Amino acid sequence: MDRFVATYTMRLDAKGRVSIPASFRAVLTRDGFEGLYCQPSPGHPALDAGGNALIHEIEALIERFPPYSEERDELAAALYGQSEILKVDSEGRIVLTEHLKTLAHIDESVAFVGLGHKFQIWEPERFFSFLEEANEKVKVLRRQPGSKGAGEPPGS
């Protein structure tokens, strides 16, 4: 598997370390990135994390704008300027910096959420509230004309 899938909730230890789920570490190893690229999520109170696949996606997004344009510089500052590369220790743990923990409102535990080419790191209660809203939106989308789920009874 070369995608981040599933959700795992983990506790930070007394030194502020947290273990990256083993399946996520396996994806990072295959990706070939040394460490963990981590940045604030542009649209959520969470952190986007990953390896080369995430960095390539960010580069492709930035390259859509002309060099030296205001939009390109703003996007690069938002996506690179607040980013950190975290070291993964021999036991598969990272230390989230105070800056990153503050951005994601993380205190004692985190939810690692697989999103395919990347994963997010959330404060668990915030994530599960977000997930409830996302599930409701999916139900509405499935009922829209033209969707494969259109015409199915509510609650399907």
Are the beta carbons of 36 and 28 closer than 8 angstroms?
Answer: yes
The 10s digit of each residue's pLDDT in 57-92 is 999 999 999 999 999 999 999 999 989 999 999 999
> How many C-beta atoms lie closer than 10 Å to residue 4's C-beta?
26
pLDDT exceeds cutoff 80 at 154: no
CATH code that applies to domain 7-124: 3.40.1550.20
- pTM, 2 dp: 0.88
pLDDT at position 13 is: 96
Q: What is the DSSP letter of 82?
A: T
Domain boundaries, the chain: 7-124
